[in-house]
Structure 1
Amino acid sequence: MRIGIVCPYSFDVPGGVQFHVRDLAEALIARGHEVSVLAPADDETPIAPYMTAAGRAVPVRYNGAVARLTFGPVTAARVRRWLAAGEFDVLHLHEPVTPSLGMLALWIADGPIVATFHTALLRSRPLQLAYPLVRQSLEKIGARIAVSEDARRTLVEHLGGDAVVIPNGVYVDTFAEAKPDDRWVGTAEAPTVAFLGRLDEARKGLAVLLSAVPEILRRRPGTRFLVAGRGETGPDDVRALIGDEAARAVEFLGEITDEEKAQLLSSVDVYCAPQTGGESFGIVLVEAMSAGAAVVASDLGAFRRVLAEGEAGVLFRTGDSQDLARTMVRVLGDEDERRGLVARAAEAVRRYDWSSVTHEVLTVYEMVVEGRDTPVVEDPSSRRGARMLERRRARGESR
């Protein structure tokens, strides 16, 4: 099968959706399919051979985070060329209502189309604004996928229709077989706790974890907190928040590679996910579970579902640093509980292995393609719609 995948977010600064697209493409290629991915990226950005760069993206505050998106007539022309060259049996769009490549491809293309929705927000003004622009085009989508029940609910409430839930995938064995790094391995006297995420993005919850550090140290002296990720937050900020003594227990690792991430998660006693909202799934929880770390996470709906309502990980009240401290102290002090969590998590994560997820996605592709003899082509009406949008943008009527 010839498969075209469109990623809305830039690979210049990759995140969860980009990694999902990359891993899906590679899982499909491993099964013998021909795959091409179109994604925003500068011409100098290193990308995989199966990817096509759609040009430079600009940072835009979108759905509580900063996303790097690309749009406009030049980008639309690149989409048209990519579609014409690809002659795809099926086109798979990610976040087609985000004002970036997915939305452009939805306007431009016609044929067997699948769309995956990642966003999970109770109220999403960007989705409400985007809906009038894509309302008619949404009818082109032959099948919709949501990465979680939370993402499905957001789709139903904001855009109507429904979707099959197929979770994000993880190469479980890659994390399960990762070798611990001595620098990060904890001991009974000095257990280690890891955090991974964008340090300056408030909803990732680093401040919630840091605020819990003094109480954790009071009751579990010697605990080390390993913080990995991109952002300007650093030791000076931690000292200002929790004081010099507690700050010495916090180690900033900076941005780490995929291999280092697997090693870190296989080394630590506990992985902490203190996010405060806006999470549709929680892929890093599955990675930590696969690597053998006990997980302590905020009780967001998406996290509760990944952690089987607390059977495969421990939940604390979202945003409550005191409750996080109490929970963390209990988990760090109970080795039997940690072993039980790890054992139950090792069974639960198999649901998310790419071997299972890829099969489910292919089943959706086959359903959409069935009975169609022609590949994905350009929609003849798309140029008129693009010109109308550009005129509205020029008048300041749409953003």
Structure 2
Amino acid sequence: MKVGIVCPYSWDVPGGVQFHIRDLAEHLIRLGHEVSVLAPADDETPLPPYVVSAGRAVPVPYNGSVARLNFGFLSAARVRRWLHDGTFDVIHIHEPASPSLGLLSCWAAQGPIVATFHTSNPRSRAMIAAYPILQPALEKINARIAVSEYARRTLVEHLGGDAVVIPNGVDVGFFEGAEPKAEWQSDSARDPDGGDGGRRGGTIGFIGRIDEPRKGLPVLMKALPKILAECPDTRLLVAGRGDEDEAVASLPKEMRDRVEFLGMVSDEDKARLLRSVDLYIAPNTGGESFGIILVEAMSAGAPVLASDLDAFAQVLDQGSAGELFANEDADALASAAVRLLGDPARRAELRERGSKHVRRFDWSTVGADILSVYETVTDGAASVAADERPGFRARFGLARD
């Protein structure tokens, strides 16, 4: 099958949607399908052979964050050219309601279209206001996927229709088979049979953009003094981009050496980090429709403590596969972290439950579900082509080739 996948966000600024699209493309390629991904990308960005650049993106506030999107006359022309050259059996558009390549592709394409909705924002006034513009494009979609029940709810409430829920996928084996890194492990983790020597604490992990408040690092920093007061041998490993000095500014100076910033890490080091920590904490405060980092942490065997966002609770099986604390409550976070760091048996229980629960998110399951959707919409259909109707071309002032 020839599959065209549309990525709305810039390929050179990694995020959950980009990772999902990358992993989906590579999973399909391993199965023998022919895949092309259209994505915004700067000229100097190294791209995998299956990615086609739609040009440079610009930063735009979107869904409580800043997304790098691509829109306009030149982008529309590149979308049409990609569709024309690809002769795809199906195109899979991610975030078709965002002002980027997804919406342009909806406008431009004729033929089998599958769309995945990642956003969970039950109070999106912008989406409601934009509905008259979005409606003609969204009506061309043959099948809709939502990555969670909360993303599906946003779609239903704001755009109408419905969607099948298929979660984001993870290569469970990749994280499960990663080698822990000794320098990131606590003494007790390195020598589980040697006793803890009276040490109180362990290694906590956090992965996310440091300078994006909704990822929750400020909440964790606020909780850290109380954690260190009870578990003085604890240290926090932080992986992600952002201002490191600003991140620790609220901490007493004598505690700042308990935080180690790793910067941006490779996929391999992310897996090794998650395999090394005694506890992974996800203190995100909102704007999450799924929680891929939780799935990755469970895949690596890390006990998870997360804020009780609806999407996180769903991923963690309502607290069965990982513990939850009250969102934005630093005291609740600190109390739960202290309890878990002092309870190896409970952490082992969470590892076991998480490792079993996470199998439903493996690409062997998720990929098969997505392929079933592709097969449903392509059964007896012609391949995807660029929309040659005068109305589309006039919208962007494009001359006929």
Range into which the TM-score falls when normalised by the shorter chain: over 0.9
CA distance in 1, matches of 2:348, 2:104: 48
Among candidates 328, 333, 337, match of residue 328 of structure 1? 337
CA distance in 2, matches of 1:129, 1:348: 39
Contact 2:210 2:247 (C-alpha < 8 Å) held by counterparts: no
Return the letter of the residue paired with 2:374.
Y
How far apart are residue 183 of structure 1 and its match? 1.2
Residue in structure 1 matched with residue 391 of structure 2 by the alignment: 384
**Cα 1:91/1:236, change in 2 over 3 Å:** closer
Residue in structure 2 matched with residue 361 of structure 1 by the alignment: 370
Contact 2:170 2:296 (C-alpha < 8 Å) held by counterparts: yes
CA distance in 2, matches of 1:24, 1:99: 23
Contact 1:110 1:377 (C-alpha < 8 Å) held by counterparts: yes
CA distance in 2, matches of 1:251, 1:292: 21
Among candidates 209, 225, 233, match of residue 222 of structure 1? 233
CA distance in 2, matches of 1:177, 1:134: 44
CA distance in 2, matches of 1:91, 1:16: 20
Among candidates 282, 285, 296, match of residue 287 of structure 1? 296
Using structure 1 for the length normalisation, give the TM-score.
Answer: 0.95
Matched residue of 1:140: which SS? coil
Gaps of 5+ in 1: 391-399
Residue in structure 2 matched with residue 107 of structure 1 by the alignment: 107
How far apart are residue 230 of structure 1 and its match? 0.9
Residue in structure 2 matched with residue 256 of structure 1 by the alignment: 265
Return the letter of the residue paired with 1:71.
F
How far apart are residue 214 of structure 1 and its match? 0.4
Provide the identity percentage. 60
* 4+ residue segments displaced more than 3 Å: 385-390
Using structure 2 for the length normalisation, give the TM-score.
Answer: 0.94
Among candidates 354, 365, 368, match of residue 345 of structure 1? 354
Residue in structure 1 matched with residue 191 of structure 2 by the alignment: none
Contact 2:171 2:362 (C-alpha < 8 Å) held by counterparts: yes
Among candidates 198, 203, 220, match of residue 209 of structure 1? 220
> Is 1:137 aligned with 2:141?
no
Return the letter of the residue paired with 2:6.
V
- Aligned ranges 1:1-399 → 2 under 5 Å: 1-187=1-187, 188=196, 189=199, 190-232=201-243, 234-235=244-245, 237-238=247-248, 240-372=249-381, 374-381=382-389, 384-385=391-392, 387-388=394-395
Return the letter of the residue paired with 1:41.
A
CA distance in 1, matches of 2:66, 2:185: 33
Return the letter of the residue paired with 1:384.
G
**Cα 1:136/1:173, change in 2 over 3 Å:** same
How big is each residue's C-alpha offset from its partner over 1:143-183, in whole Å with a ceiling of 9 and x where there is no partner? 00000011000100110100000000000000000000011
Matched residue of 2:184: which SS? coil
**Cα 1:54/1:236, change in 2 over 3 Å:** closer
How far apart are residue 236 of structure 1 and its match? 5.0
How far apart are residue 384 of structure 1 and its match? 2.5
CA distance in 2, matches of 1:111, 1:202: 41
CA distance in 2, matches of 1:129, 1:256: 39
CA distance in 2, matches of 1:92, 1:364: 10
Contact 2:4 2:92 (C-alpha < 8 Å) held by counterparts: yes
How far apart are residue 126 of structure 1 and its match? 3.1
How big is each residue's C-alpha offset from its partner over 1:105-162, in whole Å with a ceiling of 9 and x where there is no partner? 0000010000000000121133223322120121111000000011000100110100
CA distance in 2, matches of 1:130, 1:11: 25
RMSD over aligned Cα, in angstroms?
Answer: 1.3
